[in-house]
Amino acid sequence: MTTIIILLCLGLVAGMLSGLVGIGGGIVIVPALVYFLGYSQHQAQGTVLFMFLLPIGILGVFNYYQAGHIEWKTAFIIASTFLIGSYFGSKISIAIDQTTLKKVFGVIILLLSLKMIFGK
């Protein structure tokens, strides 16, 4: 049950970040699945790619599927809350001035990249 709650929150946060600063899918969910839920990099990438299945990543999803690197339940849960989160994130983004929004985007990218570079 805890994993389901984490996945629901992850989809919501990633969706909000997507609407807020134009990121969320791969840049947030992939590291979160790896660091918080112990997925392999391949599983995380395949699962997130499923979220973008149509039309963006259908051929990539097919390759990950053939290799057994998609967690279907996870992908469905995150995709459903990502939709809601992106709506609210975009509403917030529209209300924020461009300078602040650029800073928010930069901080998020910086923190995530530092975690990816220096994390385990």
Taking the CA atoms of residue 47, residue 49, residue 63 and residue 66 in that order, the dihedral angle to the nearest 10 degrees is 20
Write out residues in the chain with pLDDT < 70, as ranges.
Answer: 22, 54-56
**pTM here?**
0.66
pLDDT digits (tens, 9 = 90+) for 35-58: 899 999 889 988 988 887 766 677
The predicted pLDDT at position 55 comes to 65
72 contacts: CB under 8 Å, gap ≥ 6: 50
Pull the structure tokens for residue 53.
Answer: 């299945």
The predicted pLDDT at position 62 comes to 87
The predicted pLDDT at position 67 comes to 95
Terminus-to-terminus CA distance in the chain, angstroms? 26
Q: Which of 114, 43, 113, 120 is nearest to 78 (CA)?
A: 43
The predicted pLDDT at position 54 comes to 66
